[in-house]
Amino acid sequence: MQMVERYVRDAKMLIEMEEQRDTVAALRLLEATLAILPRIELTLELKAWCLLSLRRLKEVFDMLSHYIPSLEIGSDDESLTGSSDNSSTQLSREQVNISLEGLG
């Protein structure tokens, strides 16, 4: 556990440097942390932050799809379904790609 805490602390310091190579190094530390303890919320948030700052939006989307069960890609209709409060919203894969491209 002490090693995990050190990795997260070091990753935070690297992220604060705001250099791409430091962000990549932080991402490696966070991935090592997640390999040991896969569901640490802070680590997941920091990883998402690193991926966003590196403009690796597809990986952020994949990560969210994995950790948010209500976000599923349908195999029959090729749609993205997200549901909350018993209501569902369907977006086509094309709309999601356009939205992701708009972020970058």
pLDDT of residue 63: 87
Segments in the chain below pLDDT 70 = 68-104
pLDDT of residue 85: 42
pLDDT in tens, 39-69: 888 999 999 999 999 999 999 988 888 876 6
Token pair in block for residue 42:
């802070």
75, HSE (Cβ side, Cα atoms, 13 Å): 0
The number of angstroms, rounded, from the C-alpha of 1 to the middle of its chain's C-alpha atoms is 23
pLDDT of residue 65: 82
